[in-house]
Structure 1
Amino acid sequence: MGKLRRRTTSAALATGLTTALMAVLVTGCAAERQGSDSVTGTSAKGSAEGSPKVAKRGGSVGEAGSACELPVAFDIAEFWKAEAVDAEDSSSAGGDLAELVDAFAHQGPVTMACEIDAKPAGKIGFLRVWTGAPGKADARTVLKEFVAAEQEASGAVYREVETGDVTGVEVAYTTTSKLLEESKQEHAFAVATSKGPVVLHLGGMDTGEHNAMLPAFELAKSTLHLAG
């Protein structure tokens, strides 16, 4: 895949981790709004039935020369900002911080390679891209291991999806915070390539924010194809 054109340092990863932790703390403040505008228990199948909303295109990532060079390429939503992540640089943080950054940058068999930030579009969350080493594992296996590595994940629903020149697997699941006693929706999509597996994951501060960002996830998923 070659070196990424742009690299996020361990300090930036640490900042991302801090932001994620702060988002968890403020989730409680958003609980009332979540109860009114969220869709609870939406399955992967349900999110793709009918005509799902697709965000307006703002650019693309994945190809050589883009913000993130990846095994796949896809369109990103208008105003969203992509930045490559160099997880190998996490060791420079040192001590406990290095361990936190390392845990944040790795999940199951894949490592974070790109963050696409929704804040410039007025939303709180990221579409993150994770990549793994080439191997024999299929997309469903990789995705199951990815979800299994997520703390307090439950209710996973998988389905096969054909997009561009690849066939992938999508999952919808729920994560629960024991501290806040609240749950939120998550979506991920995985494909297997000759250069290794790729997982696109959409989180969000809460289910309300997640649902507001689903059109960006649908755009990425529907336009995804092999890079190069």
Structure 2
Amino acid sequence: AETAGAVAAGGAVGAPGSACPLPVTFDLAAGWKPKAVAPPEGEQEKELFEALAVQGPVTTVCEIDAKPAGHIGFLRVYVNDDASATARATLEAFVAAETAPSGAVYREVRAGTLTATEVTYVTTVELLDRQKKSRALAVATPRGAVVLSLGGMDDAEHEAMLPAFELARSTLAPAPAEG
């Protein structure tokens, strides 16, 4: 597996009572700030939320902002409650829902204590008429599929944020059940 260098851990996310309770837990890079994403109440707001937060079979439930650590981008966590979903199928549908994805390379990886599928690919940023690198990984859990997606403003930000993605990947574990 490629490594982009080490980064200091600055807490964890995913456990019950954390900023974003999830089916998995993982360590956050120092300075990165997690925030739960919840669907809004109003009908118009719901439509906008679905347009922005739903990608293929999964929905954003947590955004981990890199700005406090000096980067422009997010590590986003998407989930669904389909316990029968495979990591590969979930990730393929996730990538297919991107804007003009190309060059997708999938590989099976170890993600902490879990088996995962990871993908690198390129997307087109229509407003800027340029392409940028993207990376995501998916795991299947008894509580549904989980996708971690690294999004940066451009390729330089993407590369600078890779250590945070790799920290999350290397520390991924099933979250304890609530209660």
Kindly indicate whether residue 156 of structure 2 is the aligned counterpart of residue 204 of structure 1: no
User: Counterpart of 1:174 in structure 2: which amino acid?
Assistant: V
Kindly indicate whether residue 111 of structure 2 is the aligned counterpart of residue 163 of structure 1: yes
CA radius of gyration, larger in:
1
* The structure with more strand, counted as a fraction of residues: 2
Shift in alpha-carbon separation, 1:102–1:167, aligned structure 2, 3 A: same
In structure 1, C-alpha distance between the alignment counterparts of 2:129 and 2:141, rounded to whole Å: 38
* The structure with more helix, counted as a fraction of residues: 1
| TM-score, scaled to structure 1 | 0.74
Out of 124, 136, 140, which is 1:188 matched to?
A: 136
User: Do 2:83 and 2:140's aligned partners in 1 also have CA atoms closer than 8 Å?
Assistant: no
How far is 1:137 from its partner? 1.9
Shift in alpha-carbon separation, 1:178–1:104, aligned structure 2, 3 A: closer
In structure 1, C-alpha distance between the alignment counterparts of 2:143 and 2:91, rounded to whole Å: 16
Question: Per-residue CA shift, 1:92-137, capped at 9, x if unaligned?
Answer: 2x43x54222211111110111010000011100000000012322
Equivalent residue, structure 2, for 1:74: 26
Kindly indicate whether residue 6 of structure 2 is the aligned counterpart of residue 54 of structure 1: yes
How far is 1:179 from its partner? 4.1
Equivalent residue, structure 2, for 1:86: 38
Q: Secondary structure at the match of 1:130?
A: strand
Runs of 4+ in 1 over 6 A off after TM superposition: none
Note the residue ranges of structure 1 that are not aligned, 5 or more in a row.
1-47
In structure 1, C-alpha distance between the alignment counterparts of 2:15 and 2:6, rounded to whole Å: 21
Equivalent residue, structure 2, for 1:39: none
Q: How many residues align?
A: 176
1:10-159 equivalences in 2 (<5 Å): 48-49=1-2, 51-87=3-39, 89=40, 91-92=41-42, 94-95=43-44, 97-159=45-107
In structure 1, C-alpha distance between the alignment counterparts of 2:77 and 2:174, rounded to whole Å: 14
In structure 2, C-alpha distance between the alignment counterparts of 1:103 and 1:179, rounded to whole Å: 17
Q: Secondary structure at the match of 1:127?
A: strand
Note the residue ranges of structure 2 that are not aligned, 5 or more in a row.
none
In structure 2, C-alpha distance between the alignment counterparts of 1:178 and 1:66, rounded to whole Å: 35
Give me the CA root mean square deviation. Answer: 1.3
